[in-house]
Amino acid sequence: MKLALDRYAHLKSPIHSWQQEYKLIGLLGLVFAFSFVKSLVLLPIIVVISVVLFILSSLPFSYLISRLRYPGWFILAVVLLIPFTTGDTIIWQWRWLSLSQEGCRSAVLITVRFLCVFTTSIVLFGTAPFLKSIKALKNLGLSKVIVDIALLSYRYLEELGATLSTMQTAIKLRGFNHHKINYSYLKVLASVLGSLFVRSYERSNRIYHAMILRGYGHNQEVSDRRNDYLLSNRMSSNKIKLANILGLVVCLLLAVTIVFTDNFVFT
């Protein structure tokens, strides 16, 4: 299970060169603006913004599709149910099955907003190393505990994925047929999941004790002050690029315009 959110962080594009702190504020502002859209008239606008961001990021389209696969199935199931379960204005009916106008409208809104939010999020976290994104969140005031949890979770989810892949290869080499579901299949699957759970618990204990032995949790203030001092010197010695501020201003203006238009123009 390779997460590899930053697989294409090495590419060169205007979005890649955007400083991560500014990128987080600007694109998260757009994400929240997209999620609050209630008017169908604004849907083409947020689609155009998302497409432009994705094109500027130079990320492969196959990368977006591969990330969309699992959440897409969930959204598809929800979207297929909503038109038949909500709303009072019936536009089509066959026996007990009825299609409503309000349900279709909600399905379109949910689908477009999800795709735009998902695409913008992929652009946000796919154009910079994950460690750089976490450091940017820390610089913006995120709790140190949450930062550590995020880093460890990201790191060891991949480790557990690699362990699971090794175990699956091992049971396949021993003649396990995963296409045939029966009592034996469920028994083997339960054994694999149980073994994976035990291994993950033992690994977490070893990691915790190793961190304690290396002084984790002590003298944090000294190191943080030193890092803040170095960061301040670096920021003072290097002028902030105009492009970073301009990109932030443009994104925030777009977000504010979308929210204002949706709430005061199309209400």
What confidence category does residue 178 fall into, taking pLDDT thresholds of 50, 70 and 90? low
Tally of CB atoms within 10 A around 80: 11
Residues 66 and 101 in one domain: yes
Identity of residue 108: V
User: Does residue 8 lie in a domain region?
Assistant: no
| Whether residue 20 sits in one domain with residue 129 | yes
DSSP of 88-121 = S-EEEEETTEEEEHHHHHHHHHHHHHHHHHHHHH
- Give the model confidence (pLDDT) of 44-81 as tens digits: 999 999 999 999 999 999 888 888 888 888 888 888 88
Is 3 within the bounds of a domain?
A: no
**Containing structural domain, residue 94:** 14-137+242-265
In this structure, are 21 and 108 located in the same domain? yes
- Considering the domain architecture, whether residues 31 and 79 belong to the same structural domain is answered as yes
Verify that 28 and 72 share a domain, yes or no: yes
Q: Do 26 and 114 lie in a common domain? A: yes
Return the pLDDT at 237: 43
Q: What is the pLDDT of residues 78-92, one digit of tens each?
A: 888 888 888 778 888
Domain shared by 52 and 90, yes or no: yes
Q: Which one, of 154, 146, 149, 148, lies nearest residue 125 by Cα?
A: 154
125 and 177 share a domain?
no
Based on the fold, state whether residues 24 and 109 are members of the same structural domain.
yes
Asked whether residue 91 falls in the same domain as residue 19, the answer is yes
* Whether residue 119 is found in the same domain as residue 42: yes
